[in-house]
Chain A
Amino acid sequence: MPDDLQDNPKSIIRHYVEMGVLALLLVVFLAVSLWRQDPLHQKDAAATMKAIGLILAAGLTLTMYSFLYRDNPLFKIAENLYVGVALGYMAMFVWRQALRPMVYEPIFHAPTWSALQTALLHKTVPIIVGFMLLTRLSRKHGWISRYAYALMIGWAAGLAIPNITNTYILKQLYAAVTPLQQAITSAPNTPAFSYDWFVGTAGPVVGTLVILIGTVSVLFYFFFSVEHKKVGRAVSTVGIWFLMVSFGASFGYTVMGRLSLLIGRVQFLLDEWLKIPST
């Protein structure tokens, strides 16, 4: 029992009631699992393991959601188990998918002498750089890792600068200006206020203007070198409105994403654990 409950009789009773309910739910869960999955009467060992796996997955899912009521020992177990399994899984996959096929096997199981020479030629420097990164763990020798980081950052920056400039600035600028240019070119041939005029000329012009106003006003809102007074304040207020609309869209999508995760878990519990056919 937690220490802070020791002197409060109401809290002690509540604690024992909650523990009782938790135990009851556990019994109900096991009974339902044995009824729906029946791991003891499967046709072979693989099916039995699958049924046990499904019961475990369902149990861990429900345990995770139990946190919505309040923190509890089962949630703590599931939380620690999750972190431990994720780390173990990661270590195993890094070995199996990266270190063994790309480092260990080419060097220690090279089929020929020339294959070993090629492997050493290509892999010695990356291996040394990798070990240099590990010196970060030592206070005394941590400075060695800086050379490895410097190499990595220099490499990444060299790779990123032309590509990111092209993708995020040049192509976006081109895309922003193109509709305007097309609208100006097509304007003399289109009767004003016709459908084509709205779609081909007015629409792109308004769209481009909105993007321009939004970009400038939001950038100005974050420009603190000038005091935001009079016109400056008006521009930054427009910027706030654009930011709010953007945050609203992001929030809406985030709610949708979180609900999708819940729907996914509910579908798993109903479809696979309880085996209830959907209508």
Chain B
Amino acid sequence: MRTPEINRKRFELARRCVYVVIALAVIIPYFFNPKQEFKPMAEVVSVYEKIDAMKPGDQVLMAFDYDPSSEAELYPMSMALLRHCFKKGVIPVIVTHWFAGLGLFEKACNEAAEDANSMWGKKIVSGRDYALLGFRPGWTDLIVKIERDLKGAYETDYFKQPTRGMKALEGVNSLEDFELMIDLAAGATVEFWIAYGTDKSGTPMAAGTTAVSAPDLYPFYKSGQMIGFMGGLRGAADYEKLLKIPDRGERGMLAQSAAHIIIILLVLGANVHMFAKRLFGNKRD
């Protein structure tokens, strides 16, 4: 008969084995990265097509509502969107409810600007080709304020430059003046933006979220309150594929698939074990 102590040790060993197997499943594909084919999801394609159809000089309001704890999923999306905008000459106007991510957003703008310079020979300048407006407190109040008077909500940008007279904000006074609103969110801000912002102004809305929040967005996508969205690292990978600039999203897909297969096998194995135990009894114990 196994004692509780032996059972506990077996459980501890099994637990650590699972961690090791998952770690190997994620690390090994990094070194042997064969081309993995996948078809971008319809909800991501519609976001891509919307931006791709814009004219140079059109403005997109982007809310980067996340911080470094969601960097793995949302930073690749931010990079893909910024690169696409810079490639097309579309002007991203970036706001946030999450101050802890501001350093990350500045880095994303700088990296995407460097990429635009190296890939398409475009010199991207803050205040002209993009505007990083930064953080203001208020949550829903801030959205309501932006919906009515963007420059009143942000008198200066993140770099302390006045927004009145800023070239990137020419012709933009409120949310309805934007061609598109995109919220990259680690929390519930997408629903706030829909309820307090785009449903009222009629601005087309898209989103990018962590995988955990993605199922909550399908009702809004199906009802037409959003034109599309990107869910998790897969969403970022889809956008990178459409943009034809592979980066962290696409590179992570093989590791993710490998880990998913391992998890499915573990779940199946555990279920078979449980049913076998139930069927044949547990005489040994």
Binding site for B on A (CB under 8 A): 68-69, 86, 89-90, 93-94, 97-98, 101-102, 156, 159-160, 163-164, 166-168, 171-172, 174-176, 246, 249-250, 253-257, 259-267, 270, 276, 278-279
Contacts and interface: CB of A to CB of B under 8 A. Distances in A.
Q: For A90, A93, A163, A164, which residue has the most chain B Cβ atoms within 10 angstroms?
A: A163
B233 A267 contact: no
A263 B33 contact: no
Nearest to A176: B223
B26 A166 contact: no
Interface string B210-235: 11101100010011110000011110
11 contacts: A94-B99, A97-B99, A97-B134, A102-B136, A250-B212, A253-B212, A256-B256, A260-B252, A264-B252, A270-B30, A279-B30
Nearest to B99: A93
B38 to A, nearest CB: 14
A1 B97 CA distance: 45
Question: How extensive is the interface on chain B, given as a class?
Answer: 35 or more
B252 A98 contact: no
Contact of A98 (B23, B136, B233): B136
A163 B231 CA distance: 25
B14 interface: no
Main DSSP-derived SS at the B contact region: helix
Contacts, number: 136
B195 interface: yes
Main DSSP-derived SS at the A contact region: helix
Given A97-B99, A267-B30, A279-B31, A257 B195 contact: no
B232 A257 contact: yes
B126 interface: no
B71 interface: yes
A134 B67 CA distance: 27
Contacts of A174: 223
B104 interface: no
Contact of A171 (B141, B223, B256, B259): B223
A111 to B, nearest CB: 13
A270 B195 CA distance: 41
Contacts of A250: 212, 215
B256 A259 contact: yes
Contacts of B30: 266-267, 270, 276, 278-279
B255 interface: yes
